[in-house]
Structure 1
Amino acid sequence: QPFEFGNGSNAESWQNPSGAIYTDTFRDDRPQFTGMIAYDTNWHMWTITQTPGANGYKIYNDGINHFNGTGESIVNTGVREDKWNICRSKDGGAGYFYYSGDIDEMGIWNRSLTQAEVTQLYNGGAGLNYGVISLVLDLLSPDDAVTISTTSNNFLINVTDNGAGLNNVSILINGTINQTNSSGMIGLYNFSVNNLLEGFHNWSAEAYDGSDSLVESSVRTFTIDTTFPEINISYPVNGQNFPYLVNLNNITLNTTITGTNLDTCWYLYNGTNTTFSCSSGVLVSKNLTLTNQSIVTVYANNSAGNLNNSISDWTFDIFNFNDYTYDPNITESSSTTFIGNFQTGTSISSAFLEYNNTNNSASIGSLGGNRYTLSYTVISPAVGSDTNITWFFWINNVNTTSFNQTVLNINLDNCGSYSNIIAYYY
């Protein structure tokens, strides 16, 4: 077994037979737990701490807490058999058992170490001159492996002292001391670091305690990224003019976004944000369902929070709301009215209804904002059979979408070919 100390009813020992660790505590209960390899020809650090109460009895291997038991309220440290037993069992009745292995750098404290102190002692397997552990440096902010969008940032460090005092605390950027605070204050330190360069960095802290012993923190990394994503909208091009657009038809939005650490990309059109996947330098095509709104804004940010946007604002000569009132079927030689709603880029200079290859000057009703209602009433032609008649509006010399109206033939005969004769017999 590694060691044992104490005597009488409050004796403790930590035994290590066959690669397992188990306890022989105050009431002879022996809860065994396995899984920590001891006999593997490598060095390991075993740490045992005791405080009264639930989970107060702890066993660590290589800085990791593997077992928690109830801690006793009293631990006697008087000498058993007038000596300390290190690497030998306490009970020699059946012969003493000896620990088979090497032991180095044993330390005994008059208090229980914290998890942070045990981790600091293990030091990733490199070990540490333990002495009196006096200071613990906790890096609080920024988090590890973050990307930051500013070259001036605050670094928060908390210092805990266990009795040896504090001379100074320093922050290190890329392994070099950037600033030192010699106030000797225990608690939170806020270092403001300016003029950080673009790219990858690491930061850490170190402190000297009252005995001038050096304590070092863990190391964190961060990346400075002040570059905004670049956005190119190749279609529709900003300022582009469309002669004729129709409500709810589609046009294709083509955009390419370039940047490092891209996070989220989206576009805003007609009051709706739509997110899309983006990779640096890769063309993305998305369908826009048209309204009379003529601005689309593309946004992109990166993991550092750098947000950029680009706008495409187009114009049109005629916008067709695709809102018509007309008779799809009408009998020949009947009055029929056609109504349509439109918006123009400028005011209307001319408007016609072309019906059956004949232009007719349409009535123009203004709705404000270059929006108009056009209407015209015609007499359907006489036809020898049901016939489709094409019609559409002309506005400022732009022809809009064409439609068909079916003109129905009225069949007149001599009460023979096209008539049903009903005879009544009395």
Structure 2
Amino acid sequence: QVTMWYDFDFVDLYENGLGDVEFTNMRTGKQIDKNYSFVYWGEKERDVRGTDCSGKSINGTTICESVITGKETYSTWLPYNSKDIPLGNIRIGLMTDVKLRDHVDGVWTIGGKKVTKHAIWTANLNVDIVEYWNFEEGSGTNVEGSLGNYNLTSNSSVWLTGKVGSFGMNFSSITGDFAETTGNVTEIDGTNYTVNGWIKINDEKDQAVVWKIGKNINTIDGTAHLLYNSLNGISTDKWIINVPNTEFVIGSTTNADVGNYVMMTVKYNINTNNLSLYKNGTLDGSVITTRDYVVGKFHLAFGLSPGQPAKGRFVADEIGLWNRILSDAEITQLFNGGTGLTFTDVFSLDIILLEPSNNTIFTTKTNFFVGNVSDPSLLGIQNVSLILDGVINQTNSSGVEGNYNFSLTAPEGNHNWTIEAFDNIDNLHNASNGTLLFLIDLTKPLLNLTDPSGTIGINNGTETIVWTVTDENLDTCSFDYNFTNTSVSCTLNTTTFALTPQRNLTFYANDTAGNLVANLTTWNYLSTENFQTFNSSTFETATETFVINITTNGTAPLNANLVYDGVPRSATIINTAGDDFNISRTITVPLVPSNKSFNFNFTIGGVSINSLSNNQTVDQTNFTICSVAPQNITYINISFKNETTSQEDITAIIDSTFIYSLGTISEVNKTLIFSNVTENLNYSFCLTPGDRNLNIELDMTFSNSESQQRSFSLDTILSSTIL
């Protein structure tokens, strides 16, 4: 597993930058041999799998198989088969085998230098730290101390790119830039101290005074130690520590520091008067010297030279001040292979829950739970516990960094889990991704399929499925029929499908855990509806015949009825051939125009059967005196003749009653009563529908001013008649 890693951000390719790794057994202090390899954090593609249930066996059983449904990209550790450190950002890790109760440290060699432990800011660096300035303000002239003890007040407001983070403060001798602490730094007054920071010299014009420890502003008296870089005269391109009346020259790399950040460290031991200068984590030189200072005048200043104008020609970033002597290992740690560090006072064990992911659903009680625990702050891992539903389930006290794999058996239902760990000073640390949820679902959905099933009265081309299904985590439902799988809403509880000769289907219900239940149902029919014959539209009082043709299972139908508009009427059964039967009924259409529904029912073997329901549109039948459209086309005209020999046309008044029907008058009829007191030569009557024969019973009286009243009766079928 990957036990440690470093983040690199180099501006150029560093060939053969990765050297050997030395392993030390921290329990014995002895070096040991371990197999290892380098890896890097990158992206990889993997298959996404799902279930395909489109296959069918010969008998119609659904066959499900695992198939690839797509691809997804995920981040993971990948083999790094190179010793080079590339240009730009990369995280390179160390992969090695870890055994139970291992307590092993690995020391990398990077760029020819051994890097002690992890390249991060650890708690030991906060021991006796006075102040730290990370220069991340990016604007203004004030630099706040990370510990809140001392701020830097500057007359510079130019911010450039820093070594760590985003910004560093620029000091220019042209504009006389400098900065100093806002008060006496009493913590280093008369004691050991270390100053460490990243400095980038801007040009080669003159001396670059970096920092001084001593009296405030630019006075000569009280200046104890002065760090500067000289780029002219005898000490060209030398890093110099100046003490009162003494110039101590350290460093000899010509022009190497101009335009590049270097980490400069100055340590002073007040007991031995040893003054040491480190460059990029390596001791450049030391000297025994005395320190002259004015008690109570210890400021830390940047860009100031005693008794002279400000001589800043550099960018400063990540400056730290301690009132103790940092060890060589700590200085190497701050250098971090050239990447640098920044201050933090937040230290923790890093815990990440890896699997299962949030809201995972299991169909087994026993499952594995994995979390990664790392110790970047070197706090030490005392123990790691798996927490189930807020209660410690099990604890691992191996103390190793890496993945912790717990086997957990839990009851069916909803649960939550996390991992927590104690460090070696009894601080509790929680997972960065909190508490995750999971469900154990061992129960299949409860499915009740009621129809179609058994012996069904009639096959009319469609069939209805009726079901109920319950499950706390119900997901999908479908049915297989005639080699086709059809999805339905589980809560719909009913649906129809078109029939084929197949007389079975399988209904499926699946929950979100993948628990699948399948019910097979079979059925047969007493009869099959082949067709129905009827007019889709008609008129009141018309005669209509309705016919259904069925094929039975060999048993003749009995007790047939036509149910028209909710009223049953007995129907005639005729055996046309074999098991085929016609059931028919002729009716006179009742009054009131509307959409009438109808169906046939009959019995076979004592089972009552209803046919498919249909509809017939009934329009109004209207016989009346002609007027405006649509009653403007004469159907019957009544005119009058004189009873004389010449039989000339005469006028008359009438009083009439028509009982009429398009069908049988005795069953359903309508009545028209018409009278007129003004004599007319004729009277025209119109009919809707005008293309049908009309059965009428007419009683009429007529007369005029010259003749006595006559009576006339007629019982006939009319189409167009002159009376």
> TM-score with structure 1 length normalisation?
0.47
Larger Rg: 2
Structure that is richer in strand per residue: 2
